[in-house]
Structure 1
Amino acid sequence: MGKGGQGNKGGPKYLTWEEIKKHSIKTDRWIVIDGEVYDVTRWSDKHPGGSRLLGHYSGQDATEPFIAFHNDLSHPKKFLKALHVGTLALSEKQTKDIVEDFEELRKKAEKMGLFQPSYFFFAVVLLHILILEALSYLNMWYFGTGWIPWIVSVVLYSTVQAQVGWLQHDFGHLSVFKNSKIDHVLHQFTMGFIKGASAHWWNHMHYQHHAKPNVMGKDPDVRLEELFVVGETMPVKIAKKKKNSMPYNLQHKYFFVIGPPLLFPVYFQIMLFRHIFTRKKWLDLFTVSLFFAKLFYLYTPLLGVGGTILFYFTIRCVESHWFTWVTQSNHIPMEIDEDKEEPWMPLQMHATCDVEQSFFNDWFTGHLNFQIEHHLFPTMPRHNYYKVQPMVKELCKKHGIKHEVKKLSTAFKDIVRTLKHSGELWYATYSAFHSD
């Protein structure tokens, strides 16, 4: 029973958590949604969010992420019927106030229209990206390729890459059109043709992050132990396990050398092309190829092949700094631990913090200064985060959960401070266990 969604023929109708948790390996995955148990073993490989996303919730209650990630619940529910294996026994069901309260908050936000996008807002965002990209080229075409126009074009094109990174993020979360086909097409266009990266690779990585943020072994964004250790648990675990490793006690210093400067120019370049070829995502390869064809067609007559390559990797380096400091400021200083199977709201709150609102902060971070609200409501259009924030704060206060809002400068400093603390924790543990 329970292999690949064969239904509940011959099996028990009511299931306990003890039985459900036995089905939590790659070849045998069960999840619970609204008290119903589903075998998603074979469906995992077909799932649009990637097989690992469902794997992270195997043997667990996936009701809240199921609601959070889908705009139209009726569509995925059609697929669930064939995967049904039983019902959670009544004695196993637990009512949690925070779950009920968060669901009420979601319903209130829906009634307020906070999940409805402003097409004008997103049109302006896309327009300003296209204008900046045109100006980057026209600047050197008109003024020449001297140092000053070259630097101006680098700044303009780097801004394009950072801003389209935030915009593709909106399309990737289906928060713009609420129509998965349209959002996917525009996600492919912005991620592939404008940015030169794989949309499928982004989905594969980013949805795992949202499903289990800062959860070791499940969130790909904290699989850093080859170069960095973060949080309170990982440094101790790595120190006990590895005798020879990186000098993590110096990671707050070498972060400036191998962190922001190399993430996009080296690591992401390797990983996205590896993903494209290993997963055979030929549509992604086509759109990425169009990006490079455009880049070399426009800039080779101005800079030559070598100059265009230098121009490209300089942009990637600048963009990498922008992306790394913004995204890590909301997560690295927060709780990073093993999977505690927390309800949706505390899971997201413990892994995220906000940065103060201002016109610059909103633009610079693509509204990810409202990281808490984004994680709680990933399909909500970003221009509405500030409207739901007061209600989130009120619910946090009721349940004794900290809702942290920092200055942008403080958030950046906390990245380094946290890396230093985790490195020191690793060194102390390492010294104690490997003193011989």
Structure 2
Amino acid sequence: MDPPASYISSSDLANHNTRHDAWISIHGAVYDVTEWLHRHPGGSLPLLTLAGRDATDAFLAFHPPSAAALLPRLSTGLRLRDHAVSPASSDYRRLLSELSRAGLFDRKGHTTLALLSLIVPLLALAVAGVLLSDRASVHLLSAALIGFAWIQSGWIGHDSGHYNVMPTRRLNRLIQILSGNVLAGISIAWWKWNHNAHHISCNSLDFDPDLQHLPFFVVSSSFFTSLTSRFYDRKLNFDSLARVLVSYQHFTFYPVMCFARLNLFAQSFFLLLSNRKVDHRGVELLGLLLFWIWYPLLISFLPNWWERALFVLVSFSVTAIQHVQFCLNHFSSKVYLGPPNGSDWFQIQTNGTLDVSCSSWMDWFHGGLQFQVEHHLFPRLPRCNLRKIAPLVKDLCNKHNLPYNCVSFWKANVLTIQTLRTAALQARDASKPLPKNLVWEAVNTHG
């Protein structure tokens, strides 16, 4: 019997793209990750999204060099016959190697220590304002301080999900639970599940959960056909209610962002109470329980119900700043349908992201994510180094005629509202596939 072929084509690889038969290619070598899906630290979804495709750039972006030692045990012994590397990918990998040799992935500065030094006083002042003052203005200021503390804890949670912000993995896990679950009421497990999918499938309408906000928002008329979300594994129904809400989304965007945390709270519990595999589920739930003890308890010390309601409203509304920024980075950028093509990693990330220009002293406020292009290309890079590499990334984009979108915070808001308004007007004009109902007729009656 002839020995098995040592080479397969990309079309052959594409046939291995299911949960029960998942292969990927890295540097032209083919690996069977089917049995690794449930053990992958980043969850199974990133691997399933890239199954049947080249995953070299994504692998390099998300893993330290030491992760390569795990690959031989997954090898099929096959290689891609038609393996090729685009000029953009070649330069991207070269820059990645240069940054690694320069030690930039290891130099984390004192970012986490600085943020903790900010968060602790904010929380202490907020608690003191509630407990030691009987003035409503002080209570509302305390609520605002809670909101700002949540924003900064969110940056810590984000960073710790991409790389170790603490000296050891155990301490890194501790800071994740404290900053996310306990302080902010948001499951770090849910955030990693969601955020990994976002990074892998940046601005894919059906794969990126950060663009899937029906019935409140859409960024493309493609949602009018009720797309199936590959992240939530369900149809995103564009029904009559969605049409009404989307038709005015450019007006409701900022008010809805004031209550965006409610969705994060709900999604955290949906995941932790589901049958999905969640590492340290008990610790995650305990962290959320502690949040739902200390935050309502603090509110209970306020003298009356209207102050308590205003306290919640203000603390939530302040964090709208962070939720808006997440949208600014992507809503107005290029979108596409289907899974990402692993061989176009550099192009997909630059097309789907937008930088926000600001002075260096404002980096703490934006959490480093104003350098969204840089962060998406090098997600393991500590935020203190993103500004340093921005000129290198811009030069690389110019070299390969790829967009390097960088605008002011004001302009980013304008572009986002314009995108929402365009989709809103399209939703109003579309007469198909949905019949108009009485609510639709009432809202859109003129004269």
**What interval of TM-score do these two structures reach, taking the shorter chain for normalisation?**
0.7 to 0.9
Asked if 1:198 is matched to 2:187, the reply is yes
Q: CA deviation at 1:99?
A: 0.8
Change (3 A) 1:182 1:81: farther
Correspondences of 1:100-179 after superposition (within 5 Å) = 100-144=90-134, 146-174=135-163, 176-177=165-166
Q: In the alignment, which residue of structure 1 is the partner of 2:15?
A: 22
Q: CA deviation at 1:37?
A: 1.3
Q: Distance in 2 between matches of 1:253 and 1:404?
A: 25
Q: In the alignment, which residue of structure 2 is the partner of 1:3?
A: none
Kept in 2: contact 1:129–1:164 (CA 8 A): yes
Asked if 1:295 is matched to 2:295, the reply is yes
Q: Secondary structure at the match of 1:215?
A: coil
Q: In the alignment, which residue of structure 1 is the partner of 2:247?
A: 249
Change (3 A) 1:185 1:242: closer
Change (3 A) 1:243 1:263: closer
Q: CA deviation at 1:250?
A: 2.3
Q: CA deviation at 1:217?
A: 1.9
Kept in 2: contact 1:296–1:305 (CA 8 A): no
Asked if 1:331 is matched to 2:327, the reply is no
Change (3 A) 1:179 1:233: farther
Change (3 A) 1:316 1:14: farther
Q: Distance in 2 between matches of 1:166 and 1:124?
A: 12
Kept in 2: contact 1:20–1:30 (CA 8 A): yes
Asked if 1:87 is matched to 2:81, the reply is no
Q: Secondary structure at the match of 1:379?
A: coil
Change (3 A) 1:303 1:421: same
Q: Of the candidates 65, 71, 77, which is equivalent to residue 68 of structure 2? A: 77
Q: CA deviation at 1:156?
A: 0.6
Q: Distance in 1 between matches of 2:434 and 2:310?
A: 46
Q: Of the candidates 266, 273, 276, which is equivalent to residue 272 of structure 2? A: 276
Q: In the alignment, which residue of structure 2 is the partner of 1:6?
A: none
Change (3 A) 1:89 1:158: closer
The farther-off stretch of 417-426 and 368-377 is 417-426
- Where does structure 2 lack aligned partners over 5 or more consecutive residues? 228-236, 437-447
Q: Distance in 1 between matches of 2:129 and 2:206?
A: 46
Q: Distance in 1 between matches of 2:376 and 2:96?
A: 13
Change (3 A) 1:295 1:361: same
Amino acid in the other structure paired with 2:129: N
Change (3 A) 1:12 1:269: same
Kept in 2: contact 1:249–1:426 (CA 8 A): yes
Kept in 1: contact 2:369–2:375 (CA 8 A): yes
Q: Distance in 2 between matches of 1:135 and 1:65?
A: 43
Amino acid in the other structure paired with 1:294: W
Q: Of the candidates 259, 264, 276, which is equivalent to residue 262 of structure 1? A: 259
Q: CA deviation at 1:95?
A: 2.6
Asked if 1:404 is matched to 2:405, the reply is yes
Q: Distance in 1 between matches of 2:399 and 2:415?
A: 27
Q: CA deviation at 1:295?
A: 3.1
The number of equivalent residue pairs is 417
Q: Distance in 2 between matches of 1:45 and 1:226?
A: 32
Q: Distance in 1 between matches of 2:239 and 2:5?
A: 48
Q: Distance in 2 between matches of 1:261 and 1:298?
A: 20
Kept in 1: contact 2:330–2:352 (CA 8 A): yes
Q: In the alignment, which residue of structure 2 is the partner of 1:5?
A: none
Q: Distance in 1 between matches of 2:351 and 2:311?
A: 37
Q: Distance in 2 between matches of 1:307 and 1:433?
A: 44
Q: Secondary structure at the match of 2:112?
A: helix
Amino acid in the other structure paired with 1:87: L
Kept in 2: contact 1:264–1:319 (CA 8 A): no
Q: CA deviation at 1:81?
A: 2.8
Q: Distance in 2 between matches of 1:180 and 1:13?
A: 39
Kept in 1: contact 2:299–2:311 (CA 8 A): no
Correspondences of 1:217-236 after superposition (within 5 Å) = 217-231=206-220, 233-235=222-224
TM-score in terms of structure 1 length: 0.87
The farther-off stretch of 228-237 and 319-328 is 228-237
The farther-off stretch of 394-403 and 359-368 is 359-368
Q: Secondary structure at the match of 1:42?
A: helix
Kept in 2: contact 1:235–1:425 (CA 8 A): no
Q: Distance in 1 between matches of 2:377 and 2:385?
A: 13
Amino acid in the other structure paired with 1:127: S
Q: CA deviation at 1:11?
A: 5.5
Kept in 1: contact 2:30–2:80 (CA 8 A): no
Q: In the alignment, which residue of structure 1 is the partner of 2:54?
A: 61
- Give the root-mean-square deviation of aligned CA atoms: 2.7
Residues 140-181 of structure 1 show CA distances to partners (whole Å, capped at 9, x for unaligned) of: 22223x311111101111000011101111111115247544
Q: Distance in 2 between matches of 1:27 and 1:320?
A: 41
TM-score in terms of structure 2 length: 0.85
Residues 77-110 of structure 1 show CA distances to partners (whole Å, capped at 9, x for unaligned) of: 34433322232233x1113111111111112222
Q: Distance in 2 between matches of 1:155 and 1:32?
A: 49
Asked if 1:318 is matched to 2:314, the reply is no
Residues 377-425 of structure 1 show CA distances to partners (whole Å, capped at 9, x for unaligned) of: 1111101111000001111111111211111111112211110112233
Change (3 A) 1:299 1:420: closer
Q: Distance in 1 between matches of 2:207 and 2:20?
A: 17
Q: In the alignment, which residue of structure 2 is the partner of 1:366?
A: 367
Kept in 1: contact 2:153–2:180 (CA 8 A): yes
The farther-off stretch of 112-121 and 389-398 is 112-121
- Where does structure 1 lack aligned partners over 5 or more consecutive residues? 1-9
Q: Secondary structure at the match of 2:370?
A: helix
Kept in 2: contact 1:12–1:86 (CA 8 A): no
Q: In the alignment, which residue of structure 1 is the partner of 2:176?
A: 187
Q: In the alignment, which residue of structure 2 is the partner of 1:7?
A: none
Q: Distance in 2 between matches of 1:397 and 1:132?
A: 42
Calculate percent identity across the aligned residue pairs: 27
Asked if 1:389 is matched to 2:390, the reply is yes
